[in-house]
Homo-oligomer: A and B are copies of this chain.
Amino acid sequence: MDERVREHAAVLVDWSARIEAGDNVVLSAGPDAHELAVAVAEELGERGANLLATYSSGEVTRAYLRAHDGDFDENPAHERALLEESDVYLSLGGGRNTSATADVPGEIRQAYSSARTEIREERYDTRWVSTVHPTRSLAQQANMAFEEYREFAYDAILRDWESLAEEMARLKDLLDEGTEVRLVSTDTDLTVSIEGRTAVNSAASVVYDSHNLPSGEVFTAPAATEGVVSFDVPMTIRGEPVRNARMTFEDGEVVDYAAEQGEDVIGEILETDAGARRLGELGIGMNRGIDRYTDNILFDEKMGETIHLALGRAYDACLPDGESGNDSAVHVDMITDVSADSRLEIDGEVIQENGRFRWEERGSERTE
């Protein structure tokens, strides 16, 4: 086994999920994440945690969903009970085909997602962490050779998270103190309120309310969105390519949208429920270890000199205690490149210009 697989497992278990003896852990493994699942199982055994492995296969899900009539039972009791009694949920992504569920009808997907709201809430109540094992299908999606992709993935994952967390704390402080954010870029002029919201210093650990590995972003829950935004970073959503999506917001809601490619998918998402037409997240990528787009949201949204917005569900960590933010069965991120012709303002003050924060020196790590 590649030593980096073991290091990945150790970072996931220790830094990210903070696993201790006696923790009840669900290990959700993709079909091609087997090697990482083995390494994580070893870490869990060493720590005396309790392991239950689940199988997360796009092909199994596709077969089930396509055969189903769409009248799904609400929150099946066995899965809900499992999550209610779980302390930790580790998702190890890694399939054989990133488009494995591409031909599942949108209305079936939506019905399935809507019927599982409480199950999702239970999962979010655990110390959950999502990561991926570098697979051939992810390499293909990134237009990269397998070995090349592994280098890329481990460069993003095996970082000095403690020092990155310190860097990101600066931006979090500014967002916590601010009331309004404005983003101006090509085909973009968007204003959101962040009053009373708490930004998350997403340093790939549950102790920072950060649930992705890799991470490296600062995000908050916006409200009262007004204006236009263009998402120029190409990505695959629900198995379909989406290119240059644009949306217009009024009173916090999407009132118009278009896309060069994948407009149907956007429409499908917006139809899920009322919350799907509002923003749940504004995130600012700060992981400069990620040096290119790979059409994988887990990596792309963390990349330095990018900003992303998510339609749908807001994370509770951004809201005052007891309050809930935007609610939806979906949470779909889309990304805009801010490395040029862009500026980010908090309460009228420019915080980032052309990808560089005001405290950064002229030469950033990312060179043109």
Interchain CB contact under 8 A, A63 and B85 = no
A78: Cβ under 8 A from any B Cβ: yes
Interchain CB contact under 8 A, B29 and A51 = no
Determine the distance from Cα of A61 to Cα of B44 in the docked complex, in whole angstroms.
11
A73-B22, A78-B86, A86-B78 known; A53-B57 Cβ under 8 A: yes
Q: Nearest B residue to A89 by beta-carbon distance?
A: B78
Interchain CB contact under 8 A, A77 and B24 = yes
Tell me which of A30-38, A227-235, A265-273, A287-295 binds B.
A30-38
Interchain CB contact under 8 A, A37 and B60 = yes
Tell me which of A64-72, A168-176, A249-257, A338-346 binds B.
A64-72
A218: Cβ under 8 A from any B Cβ: no
Determine the distance from Cα of A78 to Cα of B122 in the docked complex, in whole angstroms.
12
Nearest Cβ in chain B — how far from A323, in angstroms?
29
Interchain CB contact under 8 A, B65 and A78 = no
Residues in B neighbouring A44, C-beta threshold 8 A: 64, 67
Interchain CB contact under 8 A, B55 and A29 = yes
Residues in B neighbouring A63, C-beta threshold 8 A: 38-39, 41-42, 45
Interchain CB contact under 8 A, B45 and A66 = yes
A46: Cβ under 8 A from any B Cβ: yes
A81: Cβ under 8 A from any B Cβ: yes
Interchain CB contact under 8 A, A48 and B31 = no
Nearest Cβ in chain B — how far from A122, in angstroms?
11
Nearest Cβ in chain B — how far from A313, in angstroms?
22
Determine the distance from Cα of A79 to Cα of B81 in the docked complex, in whole angstroms.
9
Determine the distance from Cα of A125 to Cα of B96 in the docked complex, in whole angstroms.
35
Residues in B neighbouring A83, C-beta threshold 8 A: 78
Determine the distance from Cα of A34 to Cα of B56 in the docked complex, in whole angstroms.
11
Interchain CB contact under 8 A, B57 and A42 = no
Determine the distance from Cα of A65 to Cα of B81 in the docked complex, in whole angstroms.
25
Residues in B neighbouring A53, C-beta threshold 8 A: 54-57, 60
Interface code A76-95, partner B: CB below 8 Å = 1, 0 otherwise?
11111111111000000000
A43: Cβ under 8 A from any B Cβ: yes
Q: Nearest B residue to A45 by beta-carbon distance?
A: B67
Nearest Cβ in chain B — how far from A84, in angstroms?
7
A117: Cβ under 8 A from any B Cβ: no
Q: What is A's interface to B at a CB cutoff of 8 Å?
A: 22, 24, 26-27, 29, 31, 34, 37-39, 41-46, 48, 50-57, 59-61, 63-69, 71, 73, 76-86
Could you give 14 example pairs across A and B, Cβ below 8 Å? A24-B76, A24-B79, A31-B31, A34-B57, A37-B57, A41-B67, A42-B66, A45-B65, A46-B68, A50-B76, A52-B78, A53-B55, A53-B57, A80-B85
Q: Which 3 A-B pairs have the closest CB atoms?
A: A45-B67, A50-B76, A81-B81
